[in-house]
Structure 1
Amino acid sequence: MQSLKTLSEKFVPIVFEKITKYVNSLSKKILVKVEGVSDIDKHFEIKELLQNIAWVTEVEDRGLGEFMISYPENPVYLANSLNQKGFTVVNFSPFYIILKAENNRVRDN
């Protein structure tokens, strides 16, 4: 039993690193623009929400209400996740998603 524990302690970090590299290699950059963001507090609230969406590997600030997101899946799934978080999807393509933030609708879940 101890040998299996020792073996897992050695190989789990290696396997995890390889999986992380693989997922990152699949990630595409998608520009997400959120209309109606007028202050830095709202910007960082939205950034935190974006960072907690499944499969989002990185969120970079590009300007007030603008983010470059690394996402390995089809962008339509990201748009759907954002819609479920309370944003209104104005437009999207494989390279960008434009959203409208309704202050009373955007929620953390």
Structure 2
Amino acid sequence: TIKGCVYPQQAEKALSLLTKNTAFNVLLIVQDRNNIEIDEMNPVNTELINILNQQGFEIYDFAGQPDIDPYKIENIIAQRRFISLRSLLSRSLAGATIIGKIRFIYQTRGGQNIGYGISSPFNVVRAQAQYYLLIKNKGRIRILASGTVSAKGMAPNSEDAKNKAMLALAPKLADDILQKIERYMASKRKVVKLYVYGIKSVSDNFAVKKDIQKLPWVKSIKDVGIGKFTVEYLENPIYLANALESILGYKVIDFSPTRIKIKKGG
């Protein structure tokens, strides 16, 4: 085993890092003037869950939890006291949580004078979402990203204007969150050149590639020749070296953060 390295047990379940295996909680509250509620069927909530599912993430909809008080959640978001969520999140299998508040800003009322004696034929409402992307990290809650996104809706009455604003907000919010997730994941990727001695055929090369692809935190592996691979890795490369030894039975004969040389153990 590589000296000084202890390979994490059940590494594929590690929660201090976002990967495609990370499961998400989604909890969005909606504030309309003084009323705050959790509406799990609102278009922003459902669209966000659908898009994350399409990207391959597993989703837990926290909005259906009976013991969640939307007013307490609003207070937690306002004060950024996310440590208060620790007991709630500890009951969840998800490693990450998207928590946020959507509020309505009434900009123009139907019939309102908008200048030069002209009355607005529409109600104009802006839906604004403030969100935080949280992850569990060694028993603590870490803010990984945050953002504010808004969209406008126009309709003859305020209810329809609110609904149109929510429909317009949904894809914008989902895109913003996915960009933050992808940016974080990209910052953690490391490219390692892997040389495997003793491979003599294309079929052997394919079998080795298939085995390595199954290792935790391996995002991708490219075959660049017999016994030569480029591995995109989502953690410290020393974990990759140790996994090659402890899981696949290879012997590491040379190691650096960008290059690993291995051969069959024995």
Shorter-chain TM-score range: 0.7 to 0.9
Structure 1-normalised TM-score?
0.79
SS in structure 2 at match of 1:53: coil
Instruction: Tell me the residue number matched to 1:98.
Output: 261
Distance 1:5 1:68, change over 3 A: farther
Aligned residue type for 1:63: G
What is the match of residue 59 of structure 1?
221
Secondary structure in structure 1 of the residue aligned to 2:191? strand
State the identity %: 32
Q: Distance in 2 between matches of 1:27 and 1:53?
A: 15
Rounded to whole Å, the distance in 2 between the matches of 1:59 and 1:29 is 9
SS of corresponding position for 2:218: coil
Please list every run of 5 or more consecutive structure 1 residues that lacks an aligned counterpart in the other structure. Answer: none
Please state whether the residue corresponding to 1:57 is helix, strand or coil: strand
Aligned amino acid, residue 252 of structure 2? V
Root-mean-square deviation over aligned CA pairs: 2.1
Find the partner of 1:86 among 236, 245, 249.
249
Q: Deviations over 1:28-71 (max 9, x none)?
A: 11001000001111100110111111111111111101110111
For 1:8 and 1:93, how far apart are their aligned partners in 2?
A: 45
Amino acid at match of 2:48: F
Cα gap change, 1:5/1:30 in structure 2, threshold over 3 Å: closer, same or farther?
A: farther
Q: What residue ranges of structure 2 are gaps of 5+ in the alignment?
A: 1-38, 53-173
1:71 is the counterpart of 2:225:
no
Give the corresponding residue for 1:11: 48
SS of the residue 1:73 aligns to:
coil
- Secondary structure at 2:40's aligned position in 1? helix
Name the SS of the counterpart of 1:4 in structure 2: coil
CA distance in structure 2 between the aligned counterparts of 1:81 and 1:9, rounded to whole angstroms: 39
> Structure 2 matches for 1:32-51, cutoff 5 A?
32-51=194-213
CA contact (8 A) 1:34 1:100 kept: yes
Which amino acid counterpart does residue 257 of structure 2 have in structure 1?
P
For CA contacts below 8 A with separation 6 or more, give which structure has more relative contact order: 1
CA contact (8 A) 1:37 1:101 kept: no
Task: From the superposition, tell whether residues 19 and 76 of structure 1 become closer, same or farther in structure 2 (CA, over 3 Å).
Answer: same
SS of 1:54's equivalent in the other structure is coil
> One-letter code of the match for 2:47?
K
Query: What is the TM-score with the length of structure 2 in the denominator?
Result: 0.35
Rounded to whole Å, the distance in 2 between the matches of 1:39 and 1:86 is 19
Q: Secondary structure at the match of 1:24?
A: helix
In structure 2, how many angstroms separate the alpha carbons of the residues matched to 1:72 and 1:39? 29
